[in-house]
Amino acid sequence: MDHMPFGLTVDSGGDQFPVTGPAPRLSWKVSAGIPAKAFELEATVDGVAQPLASTGGRLFVPWPWAELRSRQRVTWRVRAAEPAAAWSAWSSFEAGLFDADWTAFWISPVEKGDRPYGQRPAHVLATEFDLGDLTGSQAVTSARLYATALGVYTAAINSQRAGTAELSPGSTSYDRTLYAQASDVTSLVRSGGNRMEIELSDGWYRGQVGAFRHPAQWGTKLGARAELHLEFADGFHRVIGTDGTWTSAPSPTTRADLMEGQTVDFTVPSAAPSVVLVDEVTAPGIEWSPAPPVKVIASRPAESLHELRPGVWIADFGQNASGWIRLDDLGPAGTRTVIDYGEHLGPDGDLSTSHLDSHRPGEPARIFSQRDEVSAGEERAVFEPRHTVHGFQYARITRDATGMDLAPLDHAGVTMQVVHSDLPQTGDFSCSDADLNALHRIGEWSFLGNAVDVPTDCPTRERLAWTGDYQVFISTATRLRDVLGFSRKWLRSVRDDQLEDGRIANFSPDGRRIKNHLDDQFAMMTGSAGWGDAIVAVPWELYVAYGDEAVLAENWEAMVRWVQWALEMARTTRHHERVKASATPEPYEQYLWDGTFHWGEWTEPKKRDAEGHLIDPVQDDPMAWFMEDKGEVGTAYLYRSAATLGRIAGVLGQTEEATKYATIAEAVRDAWRLAYLRDDGTTAADTQASYVRALSFGLLPADRRGQAADRLVELIREAGTHLGTGFLSTGDLLPVLVEAGRSDVAHELLFQRTAPSWLSMVDKGATTIWESWEGIDEHGHAHDSLNHYSKATVLRFLHERTLGLRQAPGSIAWRSVVIAPTLAPGITWAKGTHESPYGTIRVHWQLDGDTLRIDADIPAETEARIVFPDGSEHHAGPGRFRASAPVSMHEPEAVPAI
């Protein structure tokens, strides 16, 4: 039994079961003791056995049989192609209802009045149907509901919800791509009369987006489309789809906005329904998402619930997260409950959200609000606002029971529903230092709170999938969770939103549709280095982590268009300061990308003025910040993306393109050196970030790396041994120090207790990573978002250096690993795992006096190089490894960046 293949998967998402397209790819794992080089597969499709198939691989194996048709059900298994080999357990999935086979109409609600954005109600679209006596040959053997919407929908049959997915159909670029969901509703249908309902609200499609709550511009009219497919014991098949017989009625949800919140009024009497509108919306073809669904992942009771003043309670859930509050007791009929959500309590113990207000120079502030409301009816009901989502740790719950005695709020009936994409865990980490364990925990929570169908920047103020955030975090994300399908889905939106000239939007899905509004001021700020480069960096990191060449192929054209646009901008534009210095450009300047807008390093630690107040260059002098020369950053990223594009071309077998982009990359690197590197190895910018980038990206000649590392250390010391990096470079700061032989400085930064530092967040009680290094100041006041995961890139250092587990240079999909702990003062043990495509890698090291013991489990088809601090090496293949060596605390020699 131990030697059977296991972990059978298909490359698709799904709620209660995987749902695929016509040709899914198959993957599986084997135990370390199986040396098989070939495998046999067998399958049944709708109960019909398929011919035995053979393959030499086991990752993303192309579908070996005829393409599937809509709604077909598959069971499959695999075994090693060897005598007497055992079969795996059966695995199953279903094909979706493909676009060409949908027969249902698009229906839309009848909307009365013109409510402002953020205040519009939800609508109930419904139909009734009779199934007669469901016994004997008339029994329903299967019922599948296929549904989608332009908006956010929940579906129910006989008042019982269909499936467990939340916020369906999810966040997407609705003008190009639309996903549907499939649910098993067999247990929900009954003999006689049945009722199917779809509650529909604005969602991502038509609701507010971004810090300034702009209305999404995907469309002006909501729509839903659904088909219920019923299979009976006698073989009869019946379809009930959306059409002109459905009705539209106001929902008890009288206000539903994904950002602003939701209001439910159970006292509102039912209104007479109207006939729905039919086919009044235009939508792209229906597809099936590769990503796992958004779900309620956990329910957390309030750690404390205290009455702030009569009728007002503060709930603390002990964790900043994404989700909503569920109330089990709404009080007597007529009781109105208001829930305000936030991340911080002010000095007075009340909820404080002013740090999330949005400011634009010269304009009034946009006051932040996340508010749900519910009015209790005569019948007992549960309040769970599933048409919105919030970022919060605290809630202020206010009750008004006018004319009645106010009942105390039941602690047990107040729970946080943690809501995010259901991403399987792939890595864990712990060590002897409780603070580092806490740092890892808050970093992971920060990512999960921002993984709500797309990788957002924060779950509160903006909730936008900024490309720069995921570009810096993707290599950390792959260490924590299986993000392949999640990322592929998001990359589809990045491609959908790409501008005609090749620019990548600042965030995707882009509800503002900048690609169609090139005269918008924000269009001038589109196409930034480090942000747009996500289209190259994210697919490459996914390929390196998972070995999926398809993610490279499906993004290739978009990558090329992006890099070509950046090259054209480098060739045709110059920064105004460079023009002022010389009207005639040097030949190398055709490769300097300094003449267009860049966000730059972003959120470097703020300096203080003479009175000790933090200086914000963006707010204090926005024009100077906007016009600043950020060519060092732009040219560095142009080099990295061109070089990566060359490697990707090689993987895809495009030899000429590989040579072309490798040559371009060298020219860009030469230009960067001529423009930004001084003879003594220092950079023109002379900031911590500039040295980190130069060392990490491989921009420096070998004989200048040491000088650059020395200057980086000098700058760190000048800052009182504090980091000075921002958004783009923080994740690479500690690794480049270790690679330069300065692990002492790296660990001093890691363990620094005063801001700016990671552990200052831990010391101040953070449960997620802050946007600003000074997220909570010395007076206890909050600044900016308290849940931004970009600085959580330090978690990769904990995995790769503190634990010591990382891929070997040139390895793909963890086929070759290095286990080499970087010992830190005071840490006596570390342990962790990584679920690679080939199986689970486990590492545990223990320091006993002057002896280091390393234990490791290496999965099938994986090789490991184990390096002890004294320089001794071991090589291990699949199976268990255990060895010890004396500790030599001398610094290792500097190694080149990988």
Measured distance CA(45)–CA(68) in Å, rounded:
8
Query: What does the alpha-carbon distance between residue 119 and residue 369 come to, in Å, rounded to a whole number?
Result: 13
**CA-to-CA distance for 739 and 728, rounded, in angstroms?**
19
User: Considering 166, 287, 373, 462, which one is annotated as catalytic?
Assistant: 462
| Contact call for residues 362 and 420 (beta carbons, < 8 A) | no
Number of Cβ within a 10 Å radius of residue 99:
14
Tokens of 439: 């740092």
- The tokens for 246 are 């459905």
Q: Would you say 326 and 415 are in contact if contact means Cβ atoms under 8 Å apart? A: yes
DSSP state of 618: H
Q: Residue 126: count other Cβ atoms within 10 Å of its Cβ.
A: 17
Q: E strands, 563-645, where?
A: none
CA dihedral 164, 205, 492, 593 (to 10 degrees): -140
Amino acid sitting at position 242 = T
CA–CA gap between residue 766 and residue 786 (Å, rounded): 8
Gap between the Cα atoms of 436 and 593, Å rounded: 39
Q: Look up 462 and say whether it is catalytic.
A: yes
Does residue 763 sit in helix, strand or coil? helix
Residue 257 is inside which H or E element, if any? Answer: strand 253-257
DSSP 891: P
* Contact (CB, 8 A) for 588 and 675: yes
The helix (run of H) or strand (run of E) holding residue 128 is strand 123-130
Classify 838 as helix, strand or coil. Answer: coil
Dihedral (CA of 199, 203, 207, 208) sign: positive
- Please calculate the CA angle 283-204-500 and round it to the nearest 5 degrees: 60
The conformation of residue 629, written as its DSSP 8-state character, comes to: -
Q: Which helix (H) or strand (E) holds 537?
A: helix 534-546
- Beta strands per DSSP E along 131-222: 140-150, 152-157, 160-161, 178-179, 181-184, 193-201, 208-209, 214-215
How many Å is the Cα radius of gyration of the chain?
28
Residue 771 catalytic? yes
Catalytic-role residue among 771, 774, 800, 835: 771
Q: How many residues does the chain have?
A: 898
Burial of 365 (C-beta count, 10 Å sphere; 0-12/13-18/19+): exposed
- On whether the CB atoms of residues 104 and 227 are closer than 8 A, the answer is yes
Respond yes or no on whether the N-terminal peptide bond of residue 587 is cis (omega within 30° of 0).
no
The answer to whether 188 and 143 are in contact (CB under 8 A) is yes
Give me the active site residues, please.
462, 771
